Structure 1
Amino acid sequence: MDIAHDGRSFARIFGVAHALVLRQVNALDEAGALLRITKREPRTMRTHYVVSL
């Protein structure tokens, strides 16, 4: 749906803690399901991802 491309934006839009979003993005990436991490920004903790259906 092209709503958010990184974890911080997703957290802000949906009112969820950024740490919870990061945890789930990492879990989904490791499981190889639904999304793939494309970039990590260590200073801001932004994790960019793409949906992989």
Structure 2
Amino acid sequence: MGYIGYNLVCFHGEDTSGKSLELIQHVQQLNFLLMVVPKLEIEAPNRQIGFVG
């Protein structure tokens, strides 16, 4: 358990299969659940992120 700033509370833990989870909750009831999800296409090449000039 931790906090970010004065209005966000963070909970760290694991689901039933042992994968890492993080719940971020704002004091006004805005919630985010962050969890690890495996890539669906393992053989696909990596895509570059950026701007095309």
Q: Which has the higher helix share?
A: 1
Greater RCO, 1 or 2 (C-alpha within 8 Å, sep 6+): 1
Q: Which has the larger radius of gyration?
A: 2
Q: What TM bracket, shorter-length normalisation?
A: under 0.3
With normalisation by structure 2, the TM-score equals 0.27
With normalisation by structure 1, the TM-score equals 0.27
